[in-house]
Structure 1
């Protein structure tokens, strides 16, 4: 899967076009019936889709950092289902336009789980609202609905990073949102999607790598959706992305313990990556690794990023220590960990081990 399955305005339009084509065939039916497993009627569920789409467009347009823009839309003017579907079509166009008008670095408030999302996150959330609630309405009206598998995969690999993939992407998404069964897995009763974590540093932001981006970096030989300097991404970044891909496929990926791409605030360019080799172990320790493109070395970026990532990790209850293994020959990297507060704890034949305790 490359970034050809880019999650942008086109995906929102694709999801809505398919949903409306189906729902308009049933616009003349009784929409006061219950929508699938929901307590809402089919009409109320359709209103919710439109409300969500316009709210996401509002977040990207207004760009608040601490709350939803305080407005709502009403459906009092809507007489029948056809009118509500027209509002869905319109709010989807607004969201798609807002996504296209938003630079990749911009983030706006969304509560789950790290209190912000970028344009790709809002696109994925919008697509999810459309897919799962169209399913609910279709179930209520007794009609069959199955969206394109690639749309479902695009959503799963971006905002459901904890959900182990399965061959049928649509059934997996329905299961992940508490709407169906998946062989060998317990039913889901509570769920939330998960936007990527971004950790701010002074001159950089550390941007969490989704399974979609990791797959593009590791398998596709792509950019992961980041704008790199001419000498990036490095092999170390692609290898780190491989750890994310393997953990995701095994169902053990925890995004906050994955990989982050280092993006320069000044020009939005990616200059390297940093991250963990996995979640903390039984002793509440986790290993850190990083790399930096050659053209960005010598400016203290790695030290700055390592300080920010280490402070973030050690502020958590589930971590007491971080460690890093550095090749004996790599003196610049030894200086980075030392400046970031790590101390040398052991010397092997090939590498030095450094540790930072809470």
Structure 2
């Protein structure tokens, strides 16, 4: 192992790479990837056939670059999102192309080319779709509140939960569909699955007077709230919780609102604590690799890392030959993980440093 101080400038570079540039501030130079594309051959217009095949090849090059930033589960489950997102307009992420081979193959026309792709722009687009970056691995939850719906309860629950949990409550259109909210939880689960949510929060809340208010000028109230948490993929009910709260105010409406907000906050506190313990994810280990010679080398490295006993291997950033990956090893031991990476190495990696949650390698050029 070489002295860590000797590679400090490179490590600082790698650390900087872990943070995305601001929108529009793409600084990394485009890098080439080989790709092939094909289309149906139009005998009346060779140029159009050639262009369609080249565009298909560009799409495949952009897909290859995008998949570096996704783990295997994300790549499979979020493919449709890629199709309607950046793969719909691949030319926006290609600086230039060079056609290497082309020709007719039966009823098709095939093109092989090298496409110089803006990998940092691709990464930014994926982050915009929550498919890459720090928030991409967070579980997403759909919050569906059955009638009678109350904004105070929903706000109390969501605000409190977001402060106490890494699980992201997102807004999904189906969660406000009156027909779904009036039906069984199975309908909400099916809609949540189609929307790509990881969890479903099915909630209900109500408030009622808890004593006489007209004679005193104050209106006491009591609220009750209920929550069921489902794993969308399996349909399994994970949690069934409830809360109660009391409030008093000079108007009945304000008293109800206070009681419902308090019930939402209490329910969120309980849900956040129990969900975090139940769904606690293993902490990922960061791998910094310095000295890579382009996206093809990054691709080979990722393939090699996927053979190690770890899950969730994906690229977080890549700039000027410095790549940052994250992975969740079966055993949370960074030294053991570093040794496993070296045992399966065919690229010539050299171990530079090992920390509790970070391993640094270099690849001599």
TM-score, normalization by structure 2: 0.27
Higher-strand-fraction structure: 2
TM-score, normalization by structure 1: 0.27
Q: Which has the larger radius of gyration?
A: 2
Which of structures 1 and 2 has the larger relative contact order (alpha carbons within 8 angstroms, sep 6+)? 2
